[in-house]
Amino acid sequence: MIETRYDMSSFRDSLLFSLQQTAEQYLTKLADDNGWILFATDWAGMAQFDVITALRVMVARLDEMSSIPERTAQGFADNAVALRLATLGLSQEPSLQTTSGVALLPAGTKSGYYGNSQGSVIGGGYVSLSPDLQRAVLGVPGCPYALLLSRSKDFAPYHAALKMQLSSEQDVRLALSLMQQLWDMGDSAGYLRHMNLEPLAGCQPKEVLLQAALGDKQVTPLGAEIMARAYGASTVSPQTRSVFGLRERKAHTEIT
């Protein structure tokens, strides 16, 4: 993230929750220590309001699977509009000014993205697509969903639901692999090359810090390694352990 007095961090987190997570103590402390403003929205397709749709698909309607990544892709668009509005159109909003009339989000405010868990699994796709974001921190990231879900303790209730329409574990595995063909449009996997090696039209190569958690029971670090290799990333010296395909480099200490 960029340490400036009027920096804005666009934040996402976790699995089917809400924007209220920005009130968590570690985030408010980060904001206080660095002079950041945290800005978040419920992510269409992966918020608490989407639980019913997800359960419907898993329990009985795999043929409606496309509704999940389509909603998530709508979330990409919603978030992009919200970020553009926050950095360009809200400086005159009275509720975002001090009592003396100074804008908390003045024109030219720098912005970055901070996502954790689900906020990184789909957040990498959002950052790749965004013309307004240049820097991102992806905490406990990974992709694709076909790899992550069967290795996550959070998927247990959805796995049980899926078994209500599929008779065997082989069918479940096959279904997850086929579902990924649709999910590519709504998670980081479909946009890996576009993060920095082959940026999309109107986008610049992004700078990304990946923070993987070894032994994580929610997001396997295997997914983070896939992202790191696709981004041409490196491990930070001294590295915790070597990762195939990555080189070890000394961390940059300067913040611009």
How many CA atoms, within 13 angstroms, populate the side-chain half-sphere of residue 109? 27
Confidence at residue 35, expressed as pLDDT on a 0 to 100 scale: 82
Give pTM, 2 decimals: 0.84
Is residue 126 in some structural domain? Answer: yes
Is residue 70 in some structural domain? Answer: yes
In order along its 256 residues, the chain shows pLDDT tens digits of: 333 333 444 544 445 555 667 777 788 888 888 888 887 778 888 887 888 888 899 998 999 999 999 999 999 999 898 888 887 767 778 887 888 888 877 777 788 898 888 889 999 999 999 999 999 999 999 999 999 999 999 889 889 999 999 989 999 999 999 999 999 999 999 999 999 999 999 999 999 999 998 899 999 999 999 999 999 999 999 998 899 999 999 987 655 4
Cα(65)–Cα(69) distance, rounded to whole angstroms?
A: 8
Here the CATH number for the domain that contains residue 219 is: 3.40.50.1820
Domain of 215, in residue numbers: 7-250
Q: Which residues contact 121 (CB under 8 A, 6 or more apart)?
A: 141, 142, 143, 145, 148, 187, 188, 219, 223
Is residue 2 in some structural domain? Answer: no
Is residue 177 in some structural domain? Answer: yes
Cα(136)–Cα(233) distance, rounded to whole angstroms?
A: 13
Report how many domains make up the chain.
Answer: 1
